[in-house]
A and B are shown apart, each in its own frame.
Chain A
Amino acid sequence: MLKEPESFLLTLRGEKITDMTVRLGYNHRGIEKACEQRTYIQDMYLVERVCGICSHSHSTCFIQAVEEITGLQVPKRGLYIRTLISELERIHSHLLWLGVAGHEIGFDTLLMYTWRDRELVMDILAIISGNRVNYGMNTIGGVRRDITAEQIPQILSAIDTLEERTKYYIQVGTQEITLRERLSGVGALSKEDATHLGAVGPTARASNVDRDVRRDDPYAVYGELSFKVITDNHNDVYGRTLVRLGELMESYKLVRQIIKQMPEGPIVVKAPRKIPAGQAISRYEAPRGEDVHYVKANGSDKPERVKVRAPTLANVQVVAHMLKDGYLADTPIVIAAIDPCFSCTDRAIATTNIDNGRTDRMDWPTLRTYGIDWYSKQGIDFAELNRKLRTMRESN
């Protein structure tokens, strides 16, 4: 019989989770090995596709290591453009997350609105880079395309609109009782556990872990920009939502600063084909958290070693802890709240019941529906909020 390894194995007592293990590797494509067999420029395209949602994060993190080994000084304007794309990526990613989170709990209006808003960012990214996703803006030594004067008012106008809309989502997030009740106390993670288990990004910051690579280990032009690192002490999914909303507002401010401060000048410096022997470690604050790339060069046109530690790998090990003593019904949103960089809608879930020894298998959509129905029976139902939001927005 065909074997299907489950991604998540939950042990249940009644409706409560007593234990959980995660099985990874579905997305293992052998990228690190492939990097050794391709040139640095080819690897740039490959590394960009580690994750399509934060592709610029991986591309930049990789290139920074290569540039450091080579001793290249990327021109200021090139760095500013890189940083601009970084923040635009953070915006699109957080809006995407808001929609996905809404979908996981049955708050589908949020999905529709945030993904519609997100199209504004996608358009800007397409105007700047030529593609909606996988922008290909980086090259070794700088960026490949410049920002033109015509693009600037478009960028700023999109940011203005998004800021207005995000203020609205913050209002919904902080004032709608249904949302607060649904997300509070769910996926609990204390500051001590977040630190001990190595959580990163908004997941950690929602447990009051004040870490952000942009501030702590500055790269690109973050050393010249002023921004707040958003932390929260709810220690739960509600906190993770607030952190991402706060980061959106900071990103809008950052985009405006970047545009204002961007100097004239070249955007790229020529890079050699062969990278001299050496090594470097590069860190980057991707939307999901700390991304780490290590590169070792050996004097040829191909790297000796490329190591990628994506933020989700750090956070997925924390999920088991968050789910323990929680309800099965919370599983979809708790997993979604770390903003996993794998397509979680396809993952199979197996549950074993301690009391009767029964093993069940569920696919993700079934588990999502189970969660929505379970909470509905507790009186937390988004049908009303969905209706209310639709009429409110339509009347605006």
Chain B
Amino acid sequence: MLVEEEKIKQQLAERFGLPAEKITVQRERRIWADVPAAEFGEIFDYAVDKLGFVILATITGLDEGPTLGVIYHIARESGIILNLHISVPKDKPVIKTVSARFPAADAYEREMVDLLGMQVEGLPPGNRYPLPDGWPEGQYPLRKDWKSDTIGKTPVSPESGASRGKEVEEDA
């Protein structure tokens, strides 16, 4: 039943010497692999170019405490998803862009830059996403220690002449 999934697990394990317990076939069409950050580039290219994982579904960034995690969710056209997870130290969270191969990765990587403070090498110049201009430096909303009310409401500019509304009794 999970013949193809097990085969992929084996190919990855053998090719890169990955321990079997780091690759899990969760169910049909779902494989999770924990791979060393240093070898990620090679493993990624192999999965995309040789194993047929040609669709980049998305990239998820996570705060794991001492590290920042990144999961690359890549899929085959037949539906199997390979989730490649790496961790990088939080005090030096550097990864390389995959946007040359997948232009769509641009947005997913910028999201990690803005929301987690990731540093992505090789990202072409462009607008930030998704936070607004003027968002204070060093404030990374998706980090676990960041509180939602850290940044107060933006002040209403005095030139605008707009005033705050008032609440009045409801008219029954």
Contacts and interface: CB of A to CB of B under 8 A. Distances in A.
**A and B touching (C-beta < 8 Å)?**
yes
A341 to B, nearest CB: 14
A305 interface: yes
Contact of A281 (B73, B78, B127, B160): B73
Interface string A257-286: 000000000000000000000011101000
A4 B106 CA distance: 24
A313 B60 CA distance: 14
Contacts of A283: 57, 75, 81
Interface stretch (B14-22, B43-51, B129-137): B129-137
A354 B144 CA distance: 46
Contact of B142 (A1, A32, A216, A218): A32
Contacts, number: 86
A23 B107 CA distance: 11
Interface residues of B, number: 41
A197 interface: yes
Given A30-B141, A211-B77, A283-B57, A25 B129 contact: yes
A279 B126 contact: no
Contacts of A296: 62
A33 interface: yes
A130 interface: no
Nearest to A27: B130
A147 B25 CA distance: 36
A317 B103 contact: yes
B104 interface: yes
A68 B27 CA distance: 10
Contacts of B148: 30, 33-34, 37
A279 B27 CA distance: 12
B132 A198 contact: no
B58 A307 contact: yes
Given A33-B142, A34-B148, A307 B60 contact: yes
